[in-house]
Amino acid sequence: MALQETASACPDGVNVQTIAVDVANRLAVATALTGLHVDVLVNNAGVATMRPLLEMTADEWHRMVDVNVNALYHVTRAVLPGMVSRGHGHVCTIGSIAGRNTFAGGTAYTGTKHFVMGFSESLMLEVRDAGVGVSVVMPGSVDTDLFPPGTDRSWMLEPENVADAVAFVVNAPPHMLVHRVEVRPLSPKRKR
């Protein structure tokens, strides 16, 4: 239902196709996405388990790496050849300010977000001459279910704020690339 609501919220005249797929499953991604005509890819899947390494299970670690890292490869690899062959397109990945910072309890999460930064910058250098833009949007705290119940989220960015940042980077003039944008709440002391 959430996919259809998102598609319905897009402006008139925008062609949106929703596909439900487990992005951590390379075969499912390849089957669902290979050969599709995609002009803009927004890599937005992510999971977070915030706890020290010695308290984290192997399953928790692998889930974060599979979704936050490996899925970037699977999904981008499935649609990027079409963008390159057409000579235009944009890959925008949602990272995090954790991609340039660290914190206790974030060993796996910050590691995956640092990967996003390196992946995005390298990919940008690889495909920009083919007319494909690559950007990363790095939000601070966003009011999502990644936070545990009871967390005061009244001061955080709203998901729409991140969507606005994505729209900003993908709608830059054709001769210009906005590669990296950091978006933060104004202040944790100020409610929205």
The secondary structure of 3-65 as a DSSP string is HHHHHHHSPTT---------TT-HHHHHHHHTT---SEEEE-------S-GGG--HHHHHHHH
For 158, residues 6+ apart whose C-beta sits below 8 A from its C-beta are 142, 143, 192
User: 84 with 126: CB under 8 angstroms?
Assistant: no
| Element spanning 181, H or E | strand 180-183
Rounded Cα distance between 179 and 176, Å, is: 9
Residue whose structure tokens are 């005061």: 152
| Element spanning 137, H or E | strand 132-139
Catalytic site positions: 109
